[in-house]
Amino acid sequence: MQIGVLGTGMVGRALATRLVGLGHDVMMGSRDAMSEPAQDWLRAQTGTASVGTFAEAAAHGELAILAVRGDVALDVVDLAGATPLKAKVLIDVSNPLDFSQGMPPVLIAHLSNTTSLGEEVQRRLPLTHVVKTLNTMNADVMVHPERVPGPSDVFVCGEDAGAKATVMSLLKSFGWDAPIDLGGISAARGTEAMLPVWLRLWQALGTADFNFRIVR
Amino acid sequence: MQIGVLGTGMVGRALATRLVGLGHDVMMGSRDAMSEPAQDWLRAQTGTASVGTFAEAAAHGELAILAVRGDVALDVVDLAGATPLKAKVLIDVSNPLDFSQGMPPVLIAHLSNTTSLGEEVQRRLPLTHVVKTLNTMNADVMVHPERVPGPSDVFVCGEDAGAKATVMSLLKSFGWDAPIDLGGISAARGTEAMLPVWLRLWQALGTADFNFRIVR
C-alpha cells in the first residue's frame, strides 16, 4: 500500500520503518524541504524510498498517518491539505500534550476533555476518514507489541466502519490481534486522556516498554 | 480497625459492606441526619453498626474513606471537618465527573488536568494523609478484584509513605496483591483522567466488570 507518514520524529520514524519492513511504499513528510544529507539520514534510518513535504506525503499515500506533536498537529493538517487527503483514511496517533508548563506535561486545554485532538482533526478534514489509534503507548510498542510481555491492548475509534476495518487490518500486520473499537471519534477524548497516567507510569516503572490491557 | 466511610451511595455501600465483612468497625456518614427507616435499610444493606453525619463518621474512623460524587467531594470534606480527620489517613476514591453536559460525563474543568480532586482534597486537609486509590474501576471490582478474570491493577498515590503502606495493606485484604505506587498525590491527575476511557470501555464492552492491567 502507498502510505504517507506525516512527521519525521521518533514516532514517524518508528512507523515508517515498520511499514517499509512490511513491504509498503512509504513517503515521509516534513514541514520544510529537508537538506539532502538530512533526507539521506532519514532514508537510511527508516528504509523509506522518499521524503517530501507534508502535502507531498499526503498525496503519495492511499492512507496517511499523522505522527507529530499535538501542539502542531492541526497546523500540519492544514499544511498537508484537505484535497490530498480527501476520501482517504488518516490514522491519527498524536496526543495533545502541553510541555510548556514543565514535566510531566498536561493536556492542551482547548484540545481535551470536552473535545479531543482526534475530533478537531476530523473537523478540519470532513471528507477524510480519521481513525484514532496507537496513541496510548510508546512508539516502539506501537509497531512491535511483542516488546511487552504478554497480550496488551490497542484502541481504535472513528466515524467510518470501513476505515476502522482498514486500520485494524494494518494493526494486525503490526501484531495487534484484537483492537478494541471504542466507537466514534469522540472516544479520542478517552484515549488521549490516558497520557497523563501513561507518563506517571513511565516514571514509576522506569521503562516505556509497558502497555494497558483491559482485563474482562 | 475503626473506619469512617463518607458517602452512602453505591461506592460507599460496597466499601462498607466489604469492610464489615473483613471485621472492621464501620460507621457510614451522610450529609443529613437520616430517618430511622433509612438508617435501618443502610445497616441491613451493609452490615454496619452505625450511621451518622460526615463529621461523626470522620471522628469514628482511625481511617476514613471519601466515597462521594466528585462535584460535592470538597463540600463533604468541609462538612467532615479538618479536626476529626487530623493526622489520619483519608482514602479518596472519588472522581471529578461533570454530568451536567450529558453522557458520557466530562471531567470537572477546575478539578482536572493542571490539578486533581485528590490534590484539592489534600490542600483542604493539610494535616491529613490523603491517599488516592480505587477510583479507576467499578465499585464491585474495588472490593472484589476477583470479579475480573485474571490479574489486574490498582493504583495508589499520596504524599506520605506510611499512609500508603497502611492503604496497601487494606487493599491487600480486599485481594489486591501488588498496588502500583505512582508517587505523590499529583499523580491523581493521571488516574482521575482514566475515567473518560473507562466510561467509553463500559459502553463498548457492555459490562463494568473489567479493569486495567499494566503489562510490563
pLDDT-derived band at B32 (thresholds 50, 70, 90) equals confident
Over residues B181-205, the mean pLDDT reads 98
> What's the pLDDT at A211?
98
Could B212 and A214 be called an inter-chain contact, meaning their C-beta atoms sit closer than 8 Å? yes
Give per-residue pLDDT as tens, A28-72.
Answer: 999 987 899 999 999 999 998 899 999 999 999 999 999 999 999
How many CB pairs (< 8 A) connect A and B? 122
Dist. CA A126–CA B27, nearest whole Å: 55
> What's the pLDDT at B112?
98
**Chain B stretch 4-43, residues whose beta carbon is closer than 8 A to a beta carbon of chain A:** none
> What's the pLDDT at B18?
98
> What's the pLDDT at B138?
98
Q: How far is B66 from chain A (nearest CA, A)?
A: 21
> What's the pLDDT at A34?
86
Could A113 and B106 be called an inter-chain contact, meaning their C-beta atoms sit closer than 8 Å? yes
Read off the DSSP letter of residue A3. Answer: E
Q: How far is A3 from chain B (nearest CA, A)?
A: 29
What residue in A sits closest to B210 (Cα-Cα)? A216
Give per-residue pLDDT as tens, A198-212.
Answer: 999 999 999 999 999
Over residues B100-106, the mean pLDDT reads 93
Could B214 and A216 be called an inter-chain contact, meaning their C-beta atoms sit closer than 8 Å? no
pLDDT-derived band at A140 (thresholds 50, 70, 90) equals very high
Could A214 and B211 be called an inter-chain contact, meaning their C-beta atoms sit closer than 8 Å? yes
pLDDT-derived band at B152 (thresholds 50, 70, 90) equals very high
Give per-residue pLDDT as tens, A104-138.
Answer: 999 999 999 999 999 999 999 999 999 999 999 99
Could A151 and B180 be called an inter-chain contact, meaning their C-beta atoms sit closer than 8 Å? no
Give per-residue pLDDT as tens, A150-182.
Answer: 999 999 999 999 999 999 999 999 999 999 999
**Chain B stretch 151-190, residues whose beta carbon is closer than 8 A to a beta carbon of chain A:** 151-152, 155, 157, 180-183, 187, 189-190
On the question of pLDDT at B56 being above 80, the answer is: yes
What residue in B sits closest to A196 (Cα-Cα)? B190
Q: How far is A112 from chain B (nearest CA, A)?
A: 9
What residue in A sits closest to B195 (Cα-Cα)? A190
Could B190 and A182 be called an inter-chain contact, meaning their C-beta atoms sit closer than 8 Å? no
Residues of chain B with Cβ-Cβ distance to A190 below 8 Å are: 196-201
**ipTM of model:** 0.96
What residue in A sits closest to B196 (Cα-Cα)? A190
Could B191 and A212 be called an inter-chain contact, meaning their C-beta atoms sit closer than 8 Å? no
Domain B2-205 sits in which CATH superfamily?
NAD(P)-binding Rossmann-like Domain (3.40.50.720)
Query: Which residue among B101, B107, B204 places its CB closest to the CB of A182?
Result: B204
Dist. CA B62–CA B46, nearest whole Å: 19
On the question of pLDDT at B161 being above 80, the answer is: yes
Put simply, whether B113 touches A (Cβ < 8 Å) is yes
Query: Which residue among A194, A207, A215 places its CB closest to the CB of B216?
Result: A207
Per the CB < 8 A criterion, the answer to whether A104 and A64 are in contact is no
Put simply, whether B110 touches A (Cβ < 8 Å) is no
> What's the pLDDT at A49?
83
C-alpha cell read off for B199? 466510561
Query: Which residue among A106, A182, A213 places its CB closest to the CB of B213?
Result: A213
Cβ neighbours for B172, distance < 8 A, ≥ 6 positions apart = none
On the question of pLDDT at B33 being above 80, the answer is: no
On the question of pLDDT at B195 being above 90, the answer is: yes
On the question of pLDDT at B10 being above 90, the answer is: yes
